[in-house]
Structure 1
Amino acid sequence: MEDFFDINMGLRSRFPLWTNFEDYSPDELLEIAIKIIEANGFKLSKNAYSALKKSFVDIYENADAQSGNGRMVRNYVENLIRNQSIRIAEENTSVYEMNLITTKDIEKVNIAEYDNNFDLEKKLKPLIANETAKAFLRSQYKLIKVKEARKKLGIGSDLNKFNHMIFTGEKGTGKKTVLNILSEMLYSMGIIKAKKIVVMHKTELSDLIDQPGGIEDVIHKCLGKLVFIEHWDLSINEEKERKVTTELIKFIDKNKNRTSIILSGKRSSMKDLILADPALSYRFPIWVDFEDYNKKQIFNIALNLLKEKGYFLDQEAEKGLGRAITEIDNSQGLTLKNGLMIEQYLDHLIR
């Protein structure tokens, strides 16, 4: 929604009130689960309570952006009750245990595990353009594999001393799509402990400067995850800029590669900002640039988006869509250079 309103500035003044519904915490997920379990006439054994709590921590850490975690809990409990029913049918249990959920039932629920069947090429196949980002993902995958092989042979390696990155480009050019693939890849290889990406804004960090614990306490909670800091090129108070950068470098040096941090912003301003600070540039050696889409790429993105929504175009409609993209591209200097803009256009078209 933030991205949508950023490219429709006129809407912000007409929709001034925002209400954000935060994800449930692991404790809240557990509380919801217990209520559903009890409402269905079941109860937990002592050990099952601890096991269930651990499971919801895993679920919370590895939920993706599309997961509605309240629905996730309900589905989890349904599987849990199903497993309990199967166990009761197969075992000779007492009357007391007929409605008792144990650790055995929880262990059978498919909680998050490392996905050792991760297929990078399959993930990259639907990704249109972004050739630089694709090459980056492939090279990182190979580099990590080499590092793992050297480690098994007992050979020391300084490869990828710092794994922090810079993503540059306009909004809607595929940064977050690539970020999700990167997160899955690193998780499958055991580099990070959770697929869930922590997204921050530079202003959020600057607001933490004078607070107890400051930036270090907040980012420390993100160890084992990807941290994506948006709008790093945003101009803030010079003193705060210096303090934010200093605190970030201090955290990186203290924790080495226990987390991966990605700074994001527009191409030209990011280069000026990062390269002007040798200490920051040294700790963020990996640069990935996301170029604007051309008209042909926008057209292919549009076809994919329509397919995902269950729509298909005949030959004439495809030609019409191509003409419309060209007309919009040529009108009043407007350029359909990112996926957000074409998605907005298609939503209007479908309505």
Structure 2
Amino acid sequence: MESNILVESSGIPSSTNRIQVVFKRELPKKPANTLAASISATAPSELLSLFDELEGLVGLQEAKKTIYEIYALLKINKEREKHHLKQEKQVFHMVFKGNPGTGKTTVARLFGKMFREMGILSKGHLIEVERADLVGEFIGHTAQKTRDLVKKALGGILFIDEAYSLARGGEKDFGKEAVDCLTKALEDSNKDFICIIAGYNEEMENFLDLNPGLPSRFPVHITFDDYSVDELLEIANIMARNKDFEITKDGLEKIKRTVSGIVSDPFQMNFSNARFIRNCIEKAIRVQAVRLIKANEFGRDDLVKLKPEDFSI
């Protein structure tokens, strides 16, 4: 079982560098579904280890299904080539749609590595950008910034988070210039370059309407569903255990009540899924530290347990 907290940074000046949570669980001895089992039987070892890494992430069923389909297509194309049959050529620019904390950046990073092992990309690196990295302050500046970022992403993935923000600002805003330049770049640099645009479901659909050429250039759409209550509890357990903590039964029940209330609230718009859980765990650890110092309790069991009173949620 493994969990990493990574700061994902493209090396490009940006208003924020997001903290990306990667949560992994122990894998079953055999793949959980027949599709994964069939693919695993044919994949080389380097790619198989990446499939295992993806399978170890909680949820993300649509993303897992899509990458298996892409690998299967490449495998079948090689078989068709042996028989001198036409091969299905596809473009893999993608739209990731989902709420915050649902694993979009994590999957984008993994996809880059997988595409490198599949021979789709030569490097497989991830360049993560946002509006401020693409949009300039004067005429011509935006196009140059966008071209420079595409060049930097060649051989890998250009990941544009909250891509719909490029559509904001009105007619005089340079966001539309970035979109137009990106649309052309997708056509010119599609052999060793993949662009993934990400954001909320509805906003991403509106964004694709901004330029008539956009929808056809992003043929792969993956929806990242909100985590269920049970999945969020699993993530909480994993995050705690990998920090050498243990959430008590009553502590988990308190998290469950809070999360259930949020998930069932039809007016809840800003729930951040796994990020919410991460924040809860980190705050509980701070509260626990104060509790233990006040009580002068420093035994191993005391240091490990996160109790209901530690969760101020």
Same fold (TM over 0.5): yes
Shift of the alpha carbon at 1:120? 4.8
Task: Give the aligned residue type for 1:344.
Answer: N
Higher alpha-carbon deviation: 164-173 or 124-133: 124-133
**Corresponding position of 1:348:** 283
**1:325 pairs with 249, 259, 265, which one?**
259
Structure 1 residues 184, 345: CA separation in 2 closer, same or farther (over 3 Å shift)? same
Higher relative helix content: 1
Identity %: 23
Matches within 5 A, 1:251-270: 251-270=185-204
Aligned-pair CA distance for 1:253: 1.7
Q: Which amino acid aligns with 1:200?
A: V
The match for 1:303 among 208, 213, 237 is 237
Structure 1 residues 237 and 166: CA distance shift in structure 2, 3 A: same
Distance 1:150 1:206, change over 3 A: farther
Describe the shift of the 1:321–1:170 C-alpha distance in structure 2 as closer, same or farther (beyond 3 A): closer
Does the 8 Å CA contact 1:299/1:322 hold for their aligned counterparts? yes
Which residue in the other structure is 1:170 paired with? 99
1:280, CA displacement in angstroms? 0.7
By how many angstroms is 1:293 displaced?
Answer: 1.9
Runs of 4+ in structure 1 deviating by more than 6 angstroms, as ranges, are: 330-333
Distance change (3 Å), C-alpha of 1:332 and 1:269: closer
Over the aligned positions, Cα root-mean-square deviation in angstroms equals 3.2
Among 260, 282, 291, the residue aligned to 2:216: 282
Change (3 A) 1:331 1:259: closer
- 1:143 is aligned to 2:73: yes
Report the 3-state secondary structure (helix = DSSP H, G, I; strand = E; otherwise coil) of the residue aligned with 2:222.
strand
1:116–1:189 Cα contact (<8 Å) kept: no
Name the counterpart of 2:156. Answer: 225
Question: What is the TM-score normalised by the length of structure 2?
Answer: 0.67
Which residue in 2 is equivalent to 1:55? none
Counterpart position of 1:129:
59
Aligned counterparts of 2:201 and 2:149: Cα–Cα separation in 1:
27
Paired amino acid for 1:220:
K
CA distance in 1, matches of 2:10, 2:181: 27
| Deviation of 1:224 (Å) | 0.4
Partner of 2:108: 179
- For this pair of structures, how many residues does the alignment match? 244
How far apart, CA to CA, are the structure 1 residues paired with 2:79 and 2:206?
37
**Structure 2, unpaired ranges of 5+:** 1-8, 13-19, 22-43, 287-313
State the Cα distance separating 1:274 from its structure 2 match: 0.7
Tell me if the contact between 1:118 and 1:188 (Cα under 8 Å) persists in the aligned partners.
Answer: no
1:132/1:289 contact within 8 Å kept: yes
**Is the contact between residue 163 and residue 260 of structure 1 (CA under 8 Å) also seen in structure 2?**
yes
- Determine the structure 1 residue equivalent to 2:87: 157
